[in-house]
Amino acid sequence: TGYAEDVARRIARQGWRRHFSVHVEALDQVDKRLLFNSTPVVFVCSTTGQGEEPDNMRRFWRFLLRKSLPHDALSSLDFAVFGLGDSSYQKFNFPAKRLFRRLQQLGAHALVRRGDGDDQHYLGVDGQLDPWLDELWGAVLGKWPLPRPVVPDDVVPDPTFDVEFGEGDAGTVDAVAAAEEDAYRATLVESERITAMDHFQDVRHLRFAIDGDPDRPQPTWGPGDCAVMRPSNLAVDVDEFLAAVGWTEQADRPLRIAPRSSAAVPALPAGVTLRWLCTSHFDIMGVPRRSFFEMLSYFSPSAEEQDKLREFSSAAGQDDLLAYCMRPRRTVLEVLGDFPRTAPAIPLTYAFDVFPAIAERSFSISSAQCPAAVDLTVAIVEYRTMMQRVRRGVCTRWLAQLPVGHALRMRFARGTMRLPPDPQRPVIMVGPGTGIAAFMAFIESRPCADNYLFFGCRSESKDFYYRKRLQRWVDDGSLHLFCAFSRDAPEKVYVQDRIREHAQLVWSLIADQGAVIYVSGNANRMPDDVRQAFADVVAVSNAGMGADDARGYVESMVKEGRYQEECWY
């Protein structure tokens, strides 16, 4: 989501104020020689999947696990670790916990206790980050006293990049060419709504053709893997943004962007313009974080607006920021409208420091490996906030309006759910709503009779996704299907109720045939309710087993990899 980088850059700005030369880098890009000298290192570590390390940490983590490293290899390293996680997940902040422990095993010295940022805190990660930073700087300055006073908070830090206008015409910018090296060109060939037209939720089946590249092998993926893409902002929003910051007249002039110090320039196309940046790079429709208000405050010519911005970026003002920005899901563009004197005062050279980058989005692939096409199942996000404002998802709103034939860049990433090596081993899949996406690929890749799917939706006639395909699999013996239509009966029925109804079958699959369980879908209450349903099945199938032992049995399945979850908010 970009949150770890945002936190790291905040720490870097605080280090700059304390006269440290600070470098912010993705962990896999760090020169490992730094670990063996006296350079202090602060690790900011997010959590992915089922308590796994993020992609840009995995090579570094494998390096730390080398058995050839002596127990005192990092004895000269002073370090700190802050983790980003969500305590509603079982493996809360596991990557940060493992990293902290491994560094100590190799002789490194912790400057401060490990910090555990928690999305469940009413202030989010900042609820733990603020006091942890106070402890960190207390420890750092105790070891490295300042040569001169701390730079005041109202002094603007140096920009990350030098940004200026180039000469001539920008020409046509090939947005599809500007992407990560491991991305492929994909063309939308099908966009079909798979919910009833009078249903409140628009869910799409999208198919993309992967364009061949004679210089590269075709991409490969497996059941459970993800397609990753970076969305764009819509033209109407870009025009409004450019007007708000006063960049409309210069929007189509080419730019020259050069890094300061060790900063890495993001992947940008030749002849990049402000319009392209506001369309394809800056997250102008996302909900801004606290650091956005901090950066805005440096440039405000209005004392009134500046005071408010400073309040929102302070530790004491987080309750107000929560009420103003987080709860109503106010966007960057809307914030600029609320600070009309500040918006046009933002210097061009600070654009990359003020405006966050659009984060990539991942979608479970709902088709088995095919070198030419990728299927996705996407719910178009639209909802009302507690303030009754309509909000739409940046990526799904963009996908919904794409015409057939539109080309974009797509890469592929390993998912968190893996099928058992034995294709005859039974699998139990629990996929309410769009949680069914990965399971469509599972079933397609396992043409055997040991696929058991518990699917849930509101109504059989409104949002029973892929009904005909599922029925064909049932008819040919490839699938055993159990459906819960929560709004079709006088009493609501959910997938967890169907699991309990078929307790004897479920227990036989688990105990006698070694079935593997997969759960995918919304992370609010469903994963806990489903896990409890399986614990109830264990308890009712084993006379004398108590509730705690039954839950312990399910937890043992999790540790063995026989119970896997992939859930999201």
Indicate the pLDDT class of residue 483, thresholds 50, 70 and 90. Answer: very high
3-state SS, residue 369: coil
Could you tell me which residue, 90 or 396, shows the higher pLDDT?
396
Cβ distance 184 to 409 under 8 Å?
yes
Q: Using CA atoms, how far apart are residues 155 and 144, in angstroms rounded to an integer?
A: 22
Indicate the pLDDT class of residue 177, thresholds 50, 70 and 90. Answer: low
Question: What number is the average pLDDT over the span 316-329?
Answer: 92
Indicate the pLDDT class of residue 174, thresholds 50, 70 and 90. Answer: low
Q: Using CA atoms, how far apart are residues 484 and 495, in angstroms rounded to an integer?
A: 6
> What is the per-residue pLDDT for 39?
84
> What is the per-residue pLDDT for 242?
98
Question: What number is the average pLDDT over the span 472-476?
Answer: 96
pLDDT(362) > 80: yes
Question: What number is the average pLDDT over the span 372-396?
Answer: 87
Average pLDDT, the chain: 92
Q: Using CA atoms, how far apart are residues 246 and 208, in angstroms rounded to an integer?
A: 37
Question: What number is the average pLDDT over the span 71-81?
Answer: 95
pLDDT(175) > 70: no
Q: Using CA atoms, how far apart are residues 438 and 442, in angstroms rounded to an integer?
A: 6
- The bridge status of strand 390-392 relative to strand 382-384 is antiparallel
Question: What number is the average pLDDT over the span 143-167?
Answer: 91
pLDDT(387) > 80: no
> Alpha carbon of 11 to those of 44, 72, 136, 291: distances in Å?
10, 28, 10, 11
> What is the per-residue pLDDT for 324?
95
> What is the per-residue pLDDT for 532?
97
Which of the residue ranges 326-330, 451-455, 508-512 would you say has the lowest mean pLDDT? 326-330
Burial class (CB in 10 A: 0-12, 13-18, 19+), 430: buried
> What is the per-residue pLDDT for 52?
85
